[in-house]
Chains A and B, each alone.
Chain A
Amino acid sequence: MKSSVITFPGSNCDRDMDVALKKFGFKNKMVWHADAELPKSDLVILPGGFSYGDYLRCGSMASKSKIMQSVINFANSGGMVMGICNGFQILVETGLVPGVLLRNKYLEFICKNVFVKINDKKNKYFKNVDNEILEFHIAHNEGNYFCTNDQLKEIEDNNQIAINYCDENGKIEDQFNPNGSIKNIAGIFNKEKNVLGMMPHPERMIDTSLSGEDGSLFFKNLINNLK
C-alpha cells in the first residue's frame, strides 16, 4: 500500500506519521506542500503540527497551498484522505469535511490520553476494528469542534461522526469532553466516508513504551482494509 504524508511549513508530526505508516507496512512518501503533483497513493495524510504557525486561523493558510488542489481532487474522486490534528484543521478549511475547530473550551493546550468510541464502522478506516473504545492521545489547542444546527443534523443523518470522546467504558458525557466539542465529536467523515478528520494522534500510540498501543490496532486494521 502506498501512502503520502504532506509536509507544510510548520508541520511537526510528519516524521512521526512516516514512522508509524512504515511500521505497519505502508510504502510512504513525504510530499512537499509547494509540489503540484501528488504521487500515486492509496492514502494521503495531512499530519499534525502548526502549519504556518497556526496564524490567522489554524489550517487556513495550508489549505491554500499548491499541493492541496491535488489533494482535493484526489478526495473528490474517492481517494482516502486522513487529517490528524492540524491536518483535521486544514481539512475543515478546505471544506472537505464540514464544521470548524475552535479554541479549546478552557483556553489551554491539552496533551493527554483520552478514550474515544467508534461511532461508525461502515467505512475503510474503522471496519473490522474489534474494539468499540480506543485509547488515543490528543495534543492540541484548537480541537473544539463546532458546526451549525443544520450541519449537525446533516452530519448525524448521514452518520458522519467517526469517533466521540468518552470514558473507558464508552460513556459519552460532558465530563469526558476535553475541549468542548459539540456532541463530544473527536473526528468526522465527509459524506462518502473516504475523508476522515480527527484530533487524536494514533501515530503516538504505536508502542507499549509510549502512550499505549491502540494506534497499532488502528493502523494494522487500516492497511488490511485498503488491501
Chain B
Amino acid sequence: MKISVIITLKKDVLDPQGKVIHQTLDGMGFEDVNEVRQGKYFEIDTKETDNDKAKAKVEEMCKKLLANLVIENYKIIDPK
C-alpha cells in the first residue's frame, strides 16, 4: 500500500526558500500571492496491508527520520 506524507515547516519558522520563491513570483507578474511556504512530499510504498498499522509505522518514520520535529510538522495522508 502507498502512503503519502507531507512535511511542512512549522508556522513560526523562517522559510528562506518560500520567501525567495514568493519574491520571484512577484517579479514574474504573479502579484496576488500572500505567502509561499515550501514543503516536502513523500510516497512510501509499504508491504504492510493493515491501514492503521501502516499509518502508525509511517508516523514513526516521520518522527525518527522524515521530519525534523525541531522545525517541521508532518501530515500523513490517509491511503483511503
Contact = CB atoms under 8 A, between A and B. Distances in A.
A65 B28 CA distance: 8
A64 B24 contact: yes
B16 interface: yes
A55 B16 contact: yes
A61 B17 contact: no
Contacts of A53: 16-17, 20
A68 to B, nearest CB: 12
Contact of A61 (B16, B21, B38): B21
Most central of B17, B24, B27, B28 by chain A CB within 10 Å: B24
Which applies to chain A's interface (DSSP): helix, strand, loop or mixed? loop
Contacts, number: 21
Interface string A49-65: 00011011000010011
A56 B23 CA distance: 12
Contacts of A55: 16-17, 20-21, 38
B16 A52 contact: no
B28 A56 contact: no
Interface in A74-114: none
Interface in B4-58: 16-17, 20-21, 24, 27-28, 38
Nearest to A9: B20
B28 A64 contact: yes
Interface in A177-196: none
Nearest to A56: B21
Nearest to B21: A56
A55 B21 CA distance: 8
A216 B24 CA distance: 37
Interface of B: 16-17, 20-21, 24, 27-28, 38
The 8 closest A-B pairs by CB, nearest first: A55-B17, A61-B24, A55-B20, A52-B20, A56-B21, A53-B20, A64-B28, A53-B16
Given A56-B17, A64-B24, A64-B27, 16 more contacts: A52-B24, A53-B16, A53-B17, A53-B20, A55-B16, A55-B17, A55-B20, A55-B21, A55-B38, A56-B20, A56-B21, A56-B38, A61-B21, A61-B24, A64-B28, A65-B27
Interface of A: 52-53, 55-56, 61, 64-65
21 contacts: A52-B20, A52-B24, A53-B16, A53-B17, A53-B20, A55-B16, A55-B17, A55-B20, A55-B21, A55-B38, A56-B17, A56-B20, A56-B21, A56-B38, A61-B20, A61-B21, A61-B24, A64-B24, A64-B27, A64-B28, A65-B27
